[in-house]
Chains A and B, each alone.
Chain A
Amino acid sequence: MTTEDFFRLDLPALLAAILACGSCGLLGSFLLLRRDSLLGDALSHAVLPGIIAGFAITGARAGLPMLLGALAAALLAVFVIGLVRRVARLESGAATGAVFTSFFALGLMLMEATGARSVDLDLDCVLFGQLESVVWLEAQGFASLLDPVALAALPRQLFLLAAVAVVLAGLVALLWRPLHLLCFDPDYAAAIGLPARGLELALNLMVAAAAVAAFEAVGSILVVAMLVCPAAAIRLLTDSYRAQVLGGAALGAALGALGYALAGPLPAAFGQNFALNAAGVIGTLGGLAVAGAMVLRQLRNASPKPAIISG
């Protein structure tokens, strides 16, 4: 493999994987701590009709209309879930399951009906992700990293992913304390006058933004893996809020990088002609990370703790 190949094919996809998985890993902790992991599942499916509608209305596969459509669909889904819970008196899991599958099915049908499918936004992208299609054809080598013309030709998914990642990181830093309270003591948060509902809404919108940005890279269903697996693995190992949130983001990004490397480039580097779907490998690693964390936790609990000697 040449340096040029690395810059053209692997670097953009690797960056996309790291940004997508890092963003999802960052937000996953809040969902997990708020016992709302299912919402990640729901939103990552429910944004599909919004993405397709944004695409169909503007006719272009541009980032912003798709993002706006996805945010609108996410808000609508959250509202409908609440409505269904109240009117049909379903427990929240069943209400969520009923709503997000309906949204997802609507998105799939819209995709057929609007002809959105004929372009590169197809079923395979929704189901498996298209990390491999994130390529930077202008790249020549290291010099391209400083060449504005070449940089402008970076795949547009990367711009969307980077923008969303930066905004999410900024928002989490800004809302660090309020989110902490919202996760651990929502009653106290409400008592000291924090706008709990506004925060919840902001969190939902952030998850929707992360889901839509990561959607093209890893597909709808594997967004779920990155929203829940890194956070759950860290949750098994720590009680610290800071370690949980930052660790979730770091583990997500690391899984993204490792998964992408294992899927193709690493076997290729060792001369193996063997390539797997990168998003699939990343998600599988997510599950393995949770399993590994469980084993670690059991080992730690099994080892005798040093006795506290008072005296």
Chain B
Amino acid sequence: MILGYNTLVVLAGCALLGLACGTVGAFALLRGRALMADAVGHAALPGVVLAAMIVATLGGNPRALPPLLAGALVAGVLGVLAVQALTRGGRIREDAAIAIVLSSFYALGVALLSHVQTMPQAAQAGLGKFILGQAAAMRAEDALWAGGIAGFCVLICLVLFQRLRAACFDPDYARVMGLSVARTDLALLGLIVIVAVAGLQAVGLVLVVALLILPAATARLLTHRLPVLLLVSALLGALAGALGAAASAFEPEWPTGAAVVLAGAIFFTLALLLAPERGLLPEAWRRAHRRIAATESHFLRAAWEAQEAAGAGPGMAGDRWTPIAALAAARGWTETYASRLALWLALRGLVARADREIHLTPRGAAAARRAVRAHRAVELHLLGLGATDIAGADRLADLVEHGLPAEMATRLLAEPSALPASPHALGPKT
């Protein structure tokens, strides 16, 4: 397929719409107003249909975009006002109010649409594309309109950046600085209405809310810094918009809105799984890593303490071979599990293995000494605080010693010093 001029313009238009939705969506999400776009999107339907009816009755071209978008804008504003009126009494919360407004406005639109279809002037032509979006039906001038609106929204966001940031993160500070949060909120609401209405052609009114939420939510997973978040959100929105439009160009039957939202959902899912700090997989990896490190240090400490018990004396690493069975008994592990750990530590070069016995290598001995130090530092600290349950102190130290930085261990137990003897008997766990 050759990318004609028209296709390119439509791609650019959808990308710009995505860009605007991503930018405004970031602020909407941070301020907790993102779902308002759902109310606005659905509420736009009766506005679009009525506008088409009026234009057709007046003999105009019912496909012309500006009157339809104007109708959507008016209906969207009415929807926002209706949400605010419903929540005023305090009996109906905002989420219920949004659900009421979006469903009943949409229902009115559906009823009107079924009436328009019986009208002779073919006024309904092309109205369906507003429901699920149909970028393929976009013309170059529509795309130019969309681009203009998108540019306007991004510009307003940049101009109001300080106010929006203050309203999102620290409304109290904003008030102290004399910035009216109520007026900022009103501006944000206006921006939400405008991008939701402008996005109708590309995404459709049912799913336009997703284009405000998904890129912003993805960006939040990836960064804490607002300027970066805005940039990432805007770029992801643009990418999702362009991908959806491209899919729509190749397969005109596909609902563009669904394609755009699925692209956004895929980005979000990837971020959810892979985001370096908050993602599920890195988190699982870190947790597994911590567990392995803790188990390793338990094994090494058991090896060290076995030497102490076998006669090397307190605080001294002996030079004997230790049976794995003795280590397993000291930690309460099965022997198979302990052998597997020994194999792992041998691979890491921390112990040497021979005939079901192990021996600490120099590196292993150093690591074991650090583990013993951390453990005894915590134990002695607890006992120094007046703990009388020695076995309890031992168990508690087992849990907290791994998070203890070397510097903190030194504060609890001055270095250089010989390792103190264990406050409890070493040997098999009871």
Contact = CB atoms under 8 A, between A and B. Distances in A.
B34 A221 contact: no
A101 interface: yes
A12 interface: no
Contacts of B264: 102
A236 B95 contact: no
A7 interface: no
Contact of B35 (A94, A222, A235): A94
A104 B32 contact: no
B299 interface: no
B345 interface: no
B108 A283 contact: yes
Given A94-B35, A105-B207, A112-B254, A221 B132 contact: no
A79 to B, nearest CB: 13
Interface in B261-278: 261-262, 264-265, 268, 272, 278
A105 B269 CA distance: 14
A228 B107 contact: no
B113 interface: yes
A93 B103 contact: no
A75 interface: no
B106 A221 contact: yes
Contacts of B278: 87-89
Interface stretch (B208-216, B306-314, B353-361): B208-216
Contact of B103 (A228, A263, A277): A228
A136 to B, nearest CB: 22
A242 interface: no
Interface string A243-264: 0000000000000000000010
A236 B430 CA distance: 65
Contact of B107 (A87, A88, A91, A280): A280
Interface string A264-300: 0000000000111101111110111010001001000
Contacts of B221: 87-88
A9 interface: no
A16 interface: no
B34 A229 contact: no
Nearest to A117: B253
A287 B42 contact: no
Nearest to A218: B107
A130 B95 CA distance: 28
A236 B213 contact: no
A109 interface: yes
Contacts of B99: 37-38, 40-41, 224, 227-228
Contacts, number: 201
Contacts of B324: none
B257 A127 contact: no
Interface string A93-109: 11101100110111011
B29 interface: yes
Interface residues of A, number: 57
Nearest to B102: A224
A290 B104 contact: yes
B29 to A, nearest CB: 6
Contacts of B209: 97, 101
A60 interface: no
A188 B138 CA distance: 56
B51 to A, nearest CB: 17
B214 A297 contact: no
B92 A84 contact: no
Given A123-B132, A276-B114, A280-B111, A106 B104 contact: no
Interface in B100-129: 100-115, 118
A280 B110 contact: yes
B214 A98 contact: yes
A32 interface: yes
A286 B103 contact: yes
Contacts of A98: 210, 213-214, 217, 265, 268
Contacts of A276: 111, 114-115
Contacts of B326: none
A282 B214 contact: no
Contact of B272 (A88, A112, A128, A284): A88
Scoring A97, A106, A232, A290 by chain B CB atoms within 10 A of each residue's CB, the highest score goes to A97
A102 B96 contact: no
Contacts of A227: 99
A28 B265 CA distance: 29
Across chains A and B, which 5 residue pairs bring their CB atoms closest together, nearest first?
A283-B107, A287-B104, A280-B111, A280-B110, A225-B103
8 contacts: A35-B95, A41-B103, A88-B272, A97-B35, A104-B206, A127-B131, A229-B104, A287-B104
Interface of A: 32, 35, 37-38, 40-41, 83-84, 87-91, 93-95, 97-98, 101-102, 104-106, 108-109, 112, 123, 127-128, 219, 221-222, 224-225, 227-229, 232, 235-236, 263, 274-277, 279-284, 286-288, 290, 294, 297
Given A105-B262, A236-B91, 4 more contacts: A101-B209, A101-B265, A105-B257, A228-B99
